[in-house]
Amino acid sequence: MYYCLVDCLALLVLLILNHDVVLKKAACDEEAYKKNYRYFLYAMIAYYFVDFLWAWLYEIQELDWLYLDTEVYFIVMAASVWLWTRYVVSYLEINNDFSRFLKYMGGGLFAGVVLATPLNRFWPLMFYFDSSGVYHGDIVRDGMFIHQIILLLLTSIYTLSFAPASSEKKRQRYWTIGFSGLLIMFFVAVQVFFPTYPLYAISYMIGGCLLRTFVIENEREEYRRTLEIALEREQEQFQELCKAWQLAYKDALTGVKSKLAYAEKIEQIDREIAKGIRQELALVVLDVNNLKRINDTLGHEVGDEYIKAACRLICDSFKKSPVYRVGGDEFVVFLEQEDYENREKLLAAFNEAVEENRQHDAVVVAAGIAEYVPGQDNSCKRIFDRADEAMYERKHALKNIA
């Protein structure tokens, strides 16, 4: 029964290590070598199951079922070697005459076994059971094993020949695949002389563990690192985009919203007006007095500080509303919700602060306000024009006072 235990152990190891590969459905865009690796695993699962049955049936001497199971055994064995060869060739991704020869050689092995198996019932050249129920192999079976040994040897040597000239990452994988093939070949050769030993199952169990550890997991680790690098680059690009966005939507001198941000806000409001969902809105247009005189007499650096002081005054007065600098000395404030409800108080407080500044020779800013009138205003520009007109009236009034 130890024979059956080896098959059970090998099957459990395969399913534990490769459950993710075995259970995954084949995708049309999946690489060919991954599909071939999965098909190889399917063949090994079938082999372990058939081999387990063979040992059990041989133990209880159920010869009719044992004969049938032996036929399936040889077919599955040939299929596993053929699929192993296809996996290795597709993994190398080298399409030449020799790689095609290996695939044809593997396919020929499988086709030959499929054809020879039913003929063995009439001419027992592969195997037979004597009257005592003892299994005997014959010349065709030995030829099949020799064919497998040669195929595994050529495939392994072919794989190992690419290892020295490959990159460091691929070199380890090529060595692993090559030596796994040699290991399987060795156990197949020994199996010829000890047909009732589970050597084939042991070889594929060890080879499968090597492949999973040093090829599959190695590839996944490399893929994970590639994703991490891509993610880092994406984060860097996102940060650069955020910086660019800040530069584009933030006024460099004052720190309030830029003219580009103002244009987008206008588009948003126009869409809301067109849909009829905009209800309450007021625009405050502001213009800094005396900026040209300060620039001409005191210089642009002093003028810039004057603009900053004007911006602070505006932001302090309309703390809950977005402020936009739309020109050299011109600002716009959108009053919504709470600020809209308190618009008259806010504008009165702002004008009082301007009046105090005027008396102390500080920054002076003219402000005009206009409210959105549903049914009358079909765009934000109409509101702006009224607020702009009110601002100029205030500007003239401040100059006359001065």
More confident residue, 213 or 373: 373
- Please name the residues in contact with 147: beta carbons below 8 A apart, sequence gap of 6 or more: 105, 109, 112
What is the pLDDT at residue 106?
A: 93
Determine the residue type at 274.
Answer: A
Question: What is the dihedral sign for C-alpha 151, 15, 12, 220?
Answer: positive
> Is residue 208 situated within a structural domain?
yes
367 sits in which H/E element: strand 365-371
The half-sphere exposure of 52 on its side-chain side, counting CA atoms within 13 A, is: 15
More confident residue, 285 or 6: 285
| Residue 339 tokens, joined | 């600020």
More confident residue, 251 or 225: 251
| Residue 143 tokens, joined | 């030829």
Q: What angle do CA 289, 345, 395 make, to 5 degrees?
A: 20
User: Do 135 and 212 have their domain in common?
Assistant: yes
User: Do 178 and 313 have their domain in common?
Assistant: no
pLDDT, tens digit, 9 for 90 and up, residues 32-52: 888 888 899 999 999 999 989
Q: In whole angstroms, give the CA distance from residue 402 to residue 382.
A: 31
Which residues is 285 bridged to in the sheet? 332, 368
Q: In whole angstroms, give the CA distance from residue 112 to residue 115.
A: 5
Identify the domain containing residue 91 by its residue range: 2-231
pLDDT, tens digit, 9 for 90 and up, residues 214-228: 777 777 777 787 788
Q: In whole angstroms, give the CA distance from residue 365 to residue 51.
A: 94
User: Do 117 and 171 have their domain in common?
Assistant: yes
Mean pLDDT of the region 363-370: 94
Asked if 88 and 181 count as a contact pair (C-beta separation under 8 A), the reply is yes
pLDDT, averaged across the chain = 88
Asked if 173 and 218 count as a contact pair (C-beta separation under 8 A), the reply is yes
Q: Residue 210's domain is classified under what CATH number?
A: 1.20.1070
Mean pLDDT of the region 192-199: 79
User: Do 383 and 309 have their domain in common?
Assistant: yes
pLDDT, tens digit, 9 for 90 and up, residues 79-119: 999 999 999 888 888 888 998 999 999 999 999 999 999 99
* Strand-strand pairing, 127-129 and 135-137: antiparallel
Tell which residue, 172, 206, 197, has the closest CA to residue 44. 206
Mean pLDDT of the region 339-351: 92
pLDDT, tens digit, 9 for 90 and up, residues 199-250: 888 888 888 888 887 777 777 777 787 788 888 888 888 887 777 777 778 8
Which residues is 341 bridged to in the sheet? none
What is the pLDDT at residue 25?
A: 63
User: Do 180 and 312 have their domain in common?
Assistant: no
With 90 as the cut, is the pLDDT of residue 192 above it? Answer: no
Mean pLDDT of the region 110-130: 92
User: Do 297 and 374 have their domain in common?
Assistant: yes
| Residue 81 tokens, joined | 């070697």
User: Do 114 and 23 have their domain in common?
Assistant: yes
User: Do 159 and 74 have their domain in common?
Assistant: yes
Counted domains in the chain: 2
What is the pLDDT at residue 402?
A: 54
Binning pLDDT at 50, 70 and 90, where does residue 198 land? Answer: confident
The angle, 0 to 180 degrees and rounded to 10, between the axes of the packed helices 380-401 and 343-359 is 30
> Is residue 240 situated within a structural domain?
no
Q: In whole angstroms, give the CA distance from residue 223 to residue 183.
A: 28
User: Do 196 and 329 have their domain in common?
Assistant: no
Percent of the chain at pLDDT > 90 equals 41
> Is residue 246 situated within a structural domain?
no
- Please name the residues in contact with 388: beta carbons below 8 A apart, sequence gap of 6 or more: 285, 368
169 sits in which H/E element: helix 168-193
User: Do 328 and 199 have their domain in common?
Assistant: no
What is the pLDDT at residue 26?
A: 54
DSSP state of 330: E
User: Do 277 and 215 have their domain in common?
Assistant: no
- Please name the residues in contact with 222: beta carbons below 8 A apart, sequence gap of 6 or more: 169
Report CA 93 to chain centroid distance, whole Å. 24
DSSP string, 69-85: HHHHHHHHHHHHHHHHH
> Is residue 319 situated within a structural domain?
yes
Q: In whole angstroms, give the CA distance from residue 321 to residue 323.
A: 6
pTM for the model: 0.59
What is the pLDDT at residue 68?
A: 94
> Is residue 118 situated within a structural domain?
yes
With 60 as the cut, is the pLDDT of residue 128 above it? Answer: yes
| Residue 184 tokens, joined | 């399987």
> Is residue 249 situated within a structural domain?
no
Q: In whole angstroms, give the CA distance from residue 341 to residue 282.
A: 10
Mean pLDDT of the region 353-361: 89
